[in-house]
Chains A and B, each alone.
Chain A
């Protein structure tokens, strides 16, 4: 009998299997989890406090950097390979220029403060290097000039002053001892204040993100509480994510996409999933630009220099008049992630009409393009009436426009900095610049609804986008059955 025993146990197991295997096979499964966005998030290393590691004293900020390099010898070299340091893109061949061009604050202009060139005193407060002086060629190979602290210090202990140097009174030792993985406060110090103030430039990057609630940004709100670097994954100081405005073509591998973490077909509704082929995630999930603080949508430099009542949001003598708005409905354009055009210093303007400083690339026939939300910033900015290109005044620099309110002087100073001749005759012309909107993402419950685009008061201009009419009735862009 003992010999038999194992057999009947096996038999029992066999019987169980005969019954259970089919039951398990047919057992109804809830649809597999469509989306596991958490899998896309980087693991942050456990923080090592530097409070006892960093030894002072430091007389100059460069000494801090050298101290950092003792243990992190490659860091400065890594950073110096990034646009945070070079302030310009890789060279692009563009059809309207014979020579390759690079794009960045170092050599191009926009329609906010116009140009950093000659205005180092203030503009360099957001360059990751120390001591970039006016009129002195900057040594881009000086490792000790890399500012480790602006990205790694506790921002309650650190601040930048003129020419990118630490502000007066900063305790360098305390700041150096506070270093850690960059937080929103580090990135936001510059990026939330683009254009010279909170939320001025981007509309989707503002100081409200420091303490965001879920209604402002579902990723950075109190539930998910992302760091910037959770999406802008950084390896060897190379931050993923490119601002297309300061680029021409963007390699998708360098860009951040919603689909890095989210599935493209995650909506429960097939009709909405079908939209993903033609509509960017941002379009529905960022219904409004600047839902809290207002952003600048119009800047008229031509009215500057007058003694008018001043107000941060309407008029400043040094800058001219502005319009700020919150809850701005974006402009919607086809966008494949690149630009069709970026104004390069010296490009002609269209004095009677609109000069586009950038034109997002894509159209209805481009299968890689999707309808994407942009903040449009309109400016009235100076140009050379005779040479027909935009001018770059020296404003914040020494003896600049902000000192004496003399445009001619400012343009002559600018000529010395940029080498672009000034004819002596200036005028003002209207320029448009499109800024892609990709932060302040809303949860599904607050995303756009059909009515917002397809309703009687819909926000999309179908004909401008290339459709004969609302695609609900006129059909979409995909024609093959």
Chain B
């Protein structure tokens, strides 16, 4: 979104200011032209005009005494039909069902329809063998977190719920009788329906408690009205009925200005349904970790608060040191709606890159503010979370971190390979290093506690955190690969929640979750555990089931429960386990609190593959299935740890993490080659020593020769030192856990710098050898090469032990024997270029990943580079050893390479024209 980058904040301010001024002007004119003569006293909402409250029939509620209809009331000015029709908060999946996309277990991806094993109620369809959740009960259970509208007013066949006849056979008009397990009819006309509740998000102090009371009482029609309770607009009769207060209205039946508290949604409004948000200066406290009325916090531990963690009221381990805020964006005064904005809000609107010409930075054509206010899109920009799958077509409409932040410039001064890191690691992975609130770890619906609840475990807290004294420790999220809608694949943080529950097969062969009501019937008789259950589970015989006993950890327990479920007529009852990912995107930490040590990831105990506990146990003989049906791929291994708990260790595919990833066979092969050479050298030198003791030393006449010119020596030693240091720094990068003393970052830089120097040195030396013609020394003479090579080989195998002279004389013009020549050709023409090429490609993976990818990307290149490094190491051992065979004394050749002067055997220069002597340097 380049236009955001280019437009300065002040430009935004100007745009926003101008829009506001226009709005004020426009509304002012509207008021004047409407001829309203009254001057309002204190206008609570400075811009919003006063209005009448209308009931569903369009009659002023003061006249009718009926509940307020938001669609009618707000519809006086706003296009409420458009708003309700463009709101996934209202739709919550109904649209998908109406569009007939129903497949599989979940008829939709929204709260209305998606099978959620935590809340554990299955939205029944017409003709289901066993009726579980009908629409009326859905409103009872999920209505508290639903904005109204959608399935709370419209049936799955598209009719108004108010037009439906009460019908026990229609899941839209029936409710489960928990006593009988059978559906009974529900009369919507009696309960009323819940229109989209504008007040819940657009008033300053919506009375959510009163709203929930009305919903839970089945008094749906009054739920939205109840949201206004306590504002002075309503009083309650002795019978609890809401009565409109005439004193809050003017003579025309409009609200008095001070009662108009309409506003933009604040974080507090969003918090009513989404999770823990701190909106006052009172110290933050947390509710129980599995409080699903706070879903964002319960599922992931995310808490939205601008305050420092150490100022909270949470009993948090290590709290004193946590002077970071819960969420840097909340700290910096961003509201939820700043990122999750209305998609046609003219301040935020950006055209999709799919249609925007690439040369156009900013398209100034905007929706007029008045048009926007009339028809604001209530589909809000959303991210790509794993847990919310409603309105999948809107995934990724939200701005991401990089829409606002220039990560390259903020990381450039310290993070090597910045682009590469940004390309594979989501910002959240480092900037959400830890969640400081607990989150749900596992839900075990295979058993029921005496409160008829599943066995629940949370991570990051003692127990369930129901008491403020229970210590909260928080948890580190697990990093999984996320496939973004733009195709990028990034490692991003997640919580994993593991669920177990019983399933059965219905007559149609579909596998369905066992209903809560059936599970209850299997476990309980009346209010007590069934005797059969008790005898199977109560191992200590105290007549009660402790949490340790209430685990299906044996075939006997499994069979007992399965038997009782079968007894209820459920076919083939069995336990399934599933692991669901829940994305963590909030609770972002500023840079100083983010992960920034290389060693966090680039080490054997890498954060990227850090295991996370799935559950303290697994039910008997069930392997949980990793649910990969979202944009998250849970690649990795589930295993039982030494403590008996179930763990997941991520193993992200197609990644190679330096310092962490190793290909075993490469290291084994390379190591064996290295050790083999070492062994050969040891054997050869031992034999040489032994034979030299037995045979008289042959003392040839010597002559001093200026063997190596200064540049040759410089070139050689520069190369030597560079290669040794490269091998050593490469080893540190490969195994940083063995060399903790070295800075990983520094060693990586050193490796790169040395590689450049090595390449320069090699290029210069190539030029030297070419220009001087000395390159010929490296080139084996084709004629008789094999004979010569065999002769030299035999010398090493036999002659050297007999103290024979070298088969070839070493001279400044011809320093190398045939074996050396062929070795150097191999090393300089094959190994060195290959090592350089793979190194360059790995270095360039952040600039030109496409080239690296041609050769298998890092997972292919890096092990190859490692293998060649092993070969280089082996060569050095052999090379150094063979220098000792060159002269009369072992160190002669090395000295020669240092000083340039070498004492070589003076061959009599007689009949043998040119088989001089000696050695590999």
Indicate if A31 sits at the interface (CB-CB under 8 A): yes
Question: B568-600 toward A: CB 8 Å interface, digit per residue (1/0)?
Answer: 000000000000000000000011100000000
Complex CA–CA separation, A238 to B207 (angstroms) = 64
Q: Are B333 and A4 in contact (CB under 8 A)?
A: no
Q: Are B333 and A450 in contact (CB under 8 A)?
A: yes
Indicate if A259 sits at the interface (CB-CB under 8 A): no
Indicate if A454 sits at the interface (CB-CB under 8 A): yes
Indicate if B1 sits at the interface (CB-CB under 8 A): no
Indicate if A481 sits at the interface (CB-CB under 8 A): yes
Indicate if B279 sits at the interface (CB-CB under 8 A): yes
Indicate if B281 sits at the interface (CB-CB under 8 A): yes
Question: A26 to nearest B CB, angstroms?
Answer: 5
Indicate if B27 sits at the interface (CB-CB under 8 A): no
Within 8 A of A (CB), among B871-903: 898-901
Pick from B147-155, B365-373, B426-434, B717-725 the stretch touching chain A: B717-725
Complex CA–CA separation, A446 to B320 (angstroms) = 11
Assess A15 versus B718: contact at CB under 8 Å? Given A455-B333, A475-B10.
yes
Q: Are A27 and B331 in contact (CB under 8 A)?
A: no
Q: Are A271 and B416 in contact (CB under 8 A)?
A: no
Indicate if A268 sits at the interface (CB-CB under 8 A): yes
Q: Are A15 and B325 in contact (CB under 8 A)?
A: no
- With beta carbons under 8 angstroms apart, the residue of B280, B590, B749, B898 that contacts A26 is B749
Pick from B303-311, B528-536, B905-913 the stretch touching chain A: B303-311
Indicate if B695 sits at the interface (CB-CB under 8 A): no
B16, B266, B710, B718 — most chain A CB neighbours (10 Å): B718
Q: Are A457 and B714 in contact (CB under 8 A)?
A: no
Question: B215 to nearest A CB, angstroms?
Answer: 28
- With beta carbons under 8 angstroms apart, the residue of A5, A11, A26, A451 that contacts B306 is A451
Q: Are B721 and A19 in contact (CB under 8 A)?
A: yes
Assess A28 versus B332: contact at CB under 8 Å? Given A19-B722, A19-B754, A268-B592.
no
Chain A residue, CB-CB nearest to B715: A15
Residues of A within 8 A of B8 (CB): 481
Assess A28 versus B749: contact at CB under 8 Å? Given A4-B901, A449-B306, A451-B306.
yes
Q: Are B714 and A11 in contact (CB under 8 A)?
A: yes
Q: Are A15 and B591 in contact (CB under 8 A)?
A: no
Q: Are B901 and A472 in contact (CB under 8 A)?
A: no
Indicate if B539 sits at the interface (CB-CB under 8 A): no
* Count of residues in A whose CB is under 8 Å from the partner chain: 36
Complex CA–CA separation, A268 to B900 (angstroms) = 56
Q: Are B717 and A11 in contact (CB under 8 A)?
A: yes
Residues of A within 8 A of B24 (CB): none
Complex CA–CA separation, A223 to B899 (angstroms) = 61
Q: Are A26 and B753 in contact (CB under 8 A)?
A: yes
Indicate if A38 sits at the interface (CB-CB under 8 A): no
Question: B316-332 toward A: CB 8 Å interface, digit per residue (1/0)?
Answer: 00000001010000011
Q: Are B718 and A19 in contact (CB under 8 A)?
A: yes
Complex CA–CA separation, A393 to B591 (angstroms) = 60
Question: B406 to nearest A CB, angstroms?
Answer: 12
Q: Are B749 and A1 in contact (CB under 8 A)?
A: no
Q: How many residue pairs, one in A and one in B, have C-beta atoms under 8 Å apart? A: 94
Question: B476 to nearest A CB, angstroms?
Answer: 23
Indicate if B688 sits at the interface (CB-CB under 8 A): no
Indicate if B665 sits at the interface (CB-CB under 8 A): no
Complex CA–CA separation, A27 to B746 (angstroms) = 6
Indicate if B826 sits at the interface (CB-CB under 8 A): no
Assess A15 versus B721: contact at CB under 8 Å? Given A1-B899, A28-B414, A455-B333.
yes
Residues of A within 8 A of B710 (CB): 11
Question: A7-21 toward B: CB 8 Å interface, digit per residue (1/0)?
Answer: 010011011101100
Residues of B within 8 A of A454 (CB): 333
Residues of B within 8 A of A268 (CB): 590-592
Chain A residue, CB-CB nearest to B901: A1
Complex CA–CA separation, A5 to B899 (angstroms) = 7
Indicate if A456 sits at the interface (CB-CB under 8 A): yes
Q: Are A456 and B590 in contact (CB under 8 A)?
A: no
Assess A444 versus B750: contact at CB under 8 Å? Given A16-B721, A269-B590, A456-B279.
no
Indicate if A45 sits at the interface (CB-CB under 8 A): no
Complex CA–CA separation, A269 to B323 (angstroms) = 14
Chain A residue, CB-CB nearest to B722: A19
Chain A residue, CB-CB nearest to B899: A4
Complex CA–CA separation, A375 to B16 (angstroms) = 37
Within 8 A of B (CB), among A178-222: none
Residues of B within 8 A of A271 (CB): 332
Residues of B within 8 A of A15 (CB): 714, 717-718, 721
- With beta carbons under 8 angstroms apart, the residue of B332, B750, B900 that contacts A23 is B750
Within 8 A of B (CB), among A1-53: 1, 4-5, 8, 11-12, 14-16, 18-19, 22-23, 26-28, 30-31
Which 6 pairs, one residue from A and one from B, show the smallest C-beta to C-beta distance?
Answer: A445-B323, A451-B306, A454-B333, A23-B750, A268-B592, A28-B745
**Listed A/B pairs (9) with beta-carbon separation below 8 Å:** A14-B714, A19-B757, A23-B750, A26-B749, A26-B752, A28-B745, A445-B308, A449-B306, A481-B8
A residues contacting B by CB (< 8 A) are: 1, 4-5, 8, 11-12, 14-16, 18-19, 22-23, 26-28, 30-31, 268-269, 271, 444-446, 449-451, 454-457, 472-475, 481
Q: A1-B899, A475-B10 are in contact. List 6 more A-B contacts (CB 8 A).
A: A5-B899, A26-B752, A28-B416, A449-B307, A450-B306, A472-B333
